[in-house]
Structure 1
Amino acid sequence: MSHKQQAISGGKWMSTSTVISTIFQFGQVAILARLLEPSVFGIVSVSTLLIAFFSIFANLGFSNSIIYKQEEDRQVLSTIYLLNLGLGLFIGIVVFFSWPLVAAYYKEPRLENVIKLSSLYFIIVYVGQIYLFLLQKELRFKAVASIDITGTIVGTSVTLLLAYNGFAELSLIFGQLAQQTAKSVLQMVFGAQLFTPMLKFDLSLIKDHLRFGLYNVGDGIVGFIQANYDNILVGGLLGVKPLGYYALASQLAVFPITRLSPIILQVAYPILAKFKGDTNELRKSYLAILDLMSYVNLPLLAGLFVTADSVVPLFYGPGWEPTILLIRIFVFVSMFSALSNPLFTLAFSKGKPKLLFLLNVATLAVKIPLVYWFGHEWGVVGIAMAFLTATFINLILNFRIVHTLIGAFLGEFFQNFTKPFLFCLAMVGAITLYKSYADSINVINTSVEIAIGALIYIGLTLRFKLPLAELKTFGKAV
């Protein structure tokens, strides 16, 4: 199977997984928003932050180094596996005993049980993670997609069942643990034929992986602070209830992009790593990725921007109106982030993760004072605006780094970007016109708004970007 066919097949399976996972995720949020108060979402977001932060240390970026080096040595993989298990256990203990500090910072005693339970995540996740890395390296995306789908179904089922029975914030934590347990078990089942661990632990065998991983850890720490400093400050400065509003607004506007972008990047990176020395091929692939991301992400974000005041009351229910303005700000954060993400494929394909670390350091130097200043002046909305400003600066620096890696590309990028941008303007204009005549916010009017936007964007795309003949050819290839 050619690289193009592998990319198409991988994209198909990961897209299926993402669509199913996204539907379950939004369905879960829509139900929980009617069962739980905003502060519960703020409390759970604190747990999510802790898991994301400590995950940086536990895998040391081995996923990227295993794929980049196309690692197959059983002794090397066994050493990495045992190291990950040890780190996971150690970090789980650290997280367990960190609850007094976290609860004191957020002034929220309910965080005690949440943090203690969350510590189990690290004991669970690293049992099967190396098998996931190997499945990705071998481009077995059907297995990866099946694992994600099963985990999502299990996690959502457990969460909703417990929420209906009054477990409040603990329902989400138990749901996360159930989801990861299912995924870890399946990762071992699907990956067993690729790797059988042995009792071999020799750090000298993984020196190259450790060096590669150190930049990943450094980049991960700085990137975490850069990406989550706003969430940390919202909770500490304003409390868990505003953090709940902020978290759900971010989830609605940013979550789809965080699910869609990895489909492309997860499939693209293992393939690009196979011809990492061909700069011309990398430039073509990078532009193709940007083009695809623009056509997929822009209409979703533009549609959400113009329909936010209709979607929020119907989706979340009453009491969530403060999220509308935040969602519209996060729409632009998502757009800039989506355009920044493909640098990942270039930096790792070129074996230069250091560039990602330096980019995040520069962005963080701008973001910290902005978030603190804007937060004190304008509260939660100011923090969102500071995040938007920092994300835009990150995009500018991002494109500068891309230029050093693959040469001039902006002219072709803007030429490609013009079409989806204009299509979105037409879509937003038509929806706005309809809303000016609609008499109220209800399911019918909101459905019509979404249908108008979808028909206009798809129609323009079929007319000016992807003629039906090309789609038929693509369909045969899939």
Structure 2
Amino acid sequence: MDTKKKAIDGGKWITISTIISTAFQFLQVSILARLLEPAAFGIVSVCMLIINFFFIFSNLGFSNSIIYKQESDRKVLSTLYFLGLMLGISMYFIIYFSSPLIVEFYKEPKLAKVVKLAAFYFPIIYCGQIYLFILQKELRFRSVALIEIMGAVSGTIVAITLAYSGYEETSLIYGQLAMQSVRTLLSIGLGFRLFIPMFYFNVTTIREHLRFAVFNVGDSLLGYIQGNCDNILVGSLLGLKSLGYYTIAYQLAVFPINKLNPIILQVAYPILAKMKENSDELKKSYIKILDLISFLNFPLLAGLFITADSLIPLFYGPGWENTIPLIHIFVLQSMCSCLAHPLFTIAYTKGKPNLLFYLNLVTLLVKLPLLYFFGKQWEVTGIALAFFTSTFVNLVLGFFIANHLIGAFIKEFLSNIYKPVLFCLFMVSAIMLYKSFLGYDGIVNTVAQIALGGLVYLALTFRYKLSFLEIQNLRRSL
């Protein structure tokens, strides 16, 4: 199977897994939002902040280096595997024994049990993580899709069942652990034919991977700080209830890009890594990725922006209205973020993870003072505005980096993106007219708004962006 066919096949399977896992995740959040208080989501959000922080140091970016180097040496992979296990176990004990400090910082006793429980995440995930990396490297996206689907289904079932049984915030953590356990078992089962670890450990054999990891860890650390300092500030200064509203609003707004972008980027990176010496092809591929991402993400985000006042009461029930103005801000932030994401495919393909490190450093230096001044002026809304502003700066600087790596592309990018932007404006206008004359409350009006917006966007797409011949060719390729 050639590269193009592998990309199409991979896209199909990742799309299927994303649709199914998204449906189950949305079901889980919708049900748990009615069973749990906002403070419970705030507690879990703090817990995941801690987990994600330690994940930076235990991961080391080996997934990117394995794919970039197309690593297949069994001794090297065995060393990486056992190093990952040692790091995972170390992270467990560090998090477990640091729980009193976390409780003291947030003044929330319930965090002790939740954090200690969540610490099991690390020894579980590192038993099978390298197999997932190898499956991605070998473009085994059907296997990757199966792993993601089964993990999402298992995690959702466990979380909802335990929430109904009165486990409160720990139901979310048990759901996460169940999801990771299933993913680990399936990764080992499906990847064991590709790699059987040998009893070998020699750090000198992974020097190149470690050098690659230095900037990756630095970039991830800075990315973590600038991506989560707003959550830390909200939770510590405004309380866990405010953090619960903030978390739900953010998660809903980034839902489309967190689900759609991996479909494209997870398939694109291993394939681009195989053509890393051809800058012209990389530029063409990068522009196509940006075009596809904007075309798919923008209508979903614009639709969420205009229908948030209908969707929130319908899916989450009463008491979550405070998330609506935050969602409006996060939609704009997500539009910038989805266009910034593909830069990593170019940076890693070119072997330049250091540029991502410097980008996140500058973004952090911009974001911190904005958080202080905006948060002081407008509290949680100001913090969201600071996040949006710094993300826009990150996008602009990221485009300069991409221009440096692959050559001028802005003119062609702008000639592509103006269409989905205009289509979204027409879509939003049509929904606003509907709401003005017919209302927005209830399931009927909500479904009608979504259907109207979708029809407007699709009609404009088929009329002005995709010709009938292009649609036929796309059908044949699928």
- Counterpart CA distance in 2 for 1:375 and 1:95 is 30
> Which residue of structure 2 lines up, in the alignment, with residue 16 of structure 1?
16
> Which residue of structure 2 lines up, in the alignment, with residue 415 of structure 1?
415
Q: Is the 8 A contact 1:22 1:256 kept in 2?
A: no
- Counterpart CA distance in 1 for 2:176 and 2:284 is 39
Deviation readout 1:55-112 (Å, 9 max, x if unpaired): 1111211000000000000000000000000000001110111111111111111100
- Counterpart CA distance in 2 for 1:463 and 1:439 is 29
Amino acid at match of 2:330: F
> Which residue of structure 1 lines up, in the alignment, with residue 352 of structure 2?
352
> Which residue of structure 2 lines up, in the alignment, with residue 2 of structure 1?
2
- Counterpart CA distance in 1 for 2:439 and 2:350 is 55
Q: How does 1:1-400 map to 2 (within 5 A)?
A: 1-400=1-400
- Counterpart CA distance in 2 for 1:457 and 1:88 is 46
Q: Is the 8 A contact 1:374 1:386 kept in 2?
A: yes
Amino acid at match of 1:213: A
Q: Indicate how the Cα distance of structure 1 residues 204 and 311 shifts in structure 2: closer, same or farther if over 3 A, else same.
A: same
- RMSD of equivalent CA atoms: 0.8
Amino acid at match of 2:101: L
TM-score, structure 1 normalization: 0.99
- Counterpart CA distance in 1 for 2:95 and 2:260 is 30
Amino acid at match of 2:255: F
Q: Is the 8 A contact 2:272 2:349 kept in 1?
A: yes
Q: Does 1:434 align with 2:434?
A: yes
- Counterpart CA distance in 2 for 1:466 and 1:89 is 52
Identity %: 59
SS of the equivalent of 2:128 reads helix
SS of the equivalent of 1:389 reads helix
Q: Is the 8 A contact 1:279 1:406 kept in 2?
A: yes
Amino acid at match of 1:52: N
- How far apart are residue 472 of structure 1 and its match? 2.6
- Counterpart CA distance in 1 for 2:47 and 2:194 is 33
Deviation readout 1:327-379 (Å, 9 max, x if unpaired): 00000110000000110110000000000000000000011111122112211
Unaligned stretches of 5+ residues in structure 1? none
- How far apart are residue 440 of structure 1 and its match? 4.9
- Counterpart CA distance in 2 for 1:48 and 1:459 is 41
SS of the equivalent of 1:166 reads coil
- How far apart are residue 469 of structure 1 and its match? 2.9
- How far apart are residue 448 of structure 1 and its match? 0.4
- Counterpart CA distance in 2 for 1:403 and 1:418 is 19
Q: Is the 8 A contact 2:440 2:446 kept in 1?
A: no
- Counterpart CA distance in 2 for 1:330 and 1:248 is 11
Q: Is the 8 A contact 1:340 1:398 kept in 2?
A: yes
Deviation readout 1:416-438 (Å, 9 max, x if unpaired): 00110110011000000000012
TM-score, structure 2 normalization: 0.99
SS of the equivalent of 1:288 reads helix
Unaligned stretches of 5+ residues in structure 2? none
Deviation readout 1:147-197 (Å, 9 max, x if unpaired): 000000000000000000000000000000000000000000000111000
Q: Is the 8 A contact 1:339 1:395 kept in 2?
A: yes
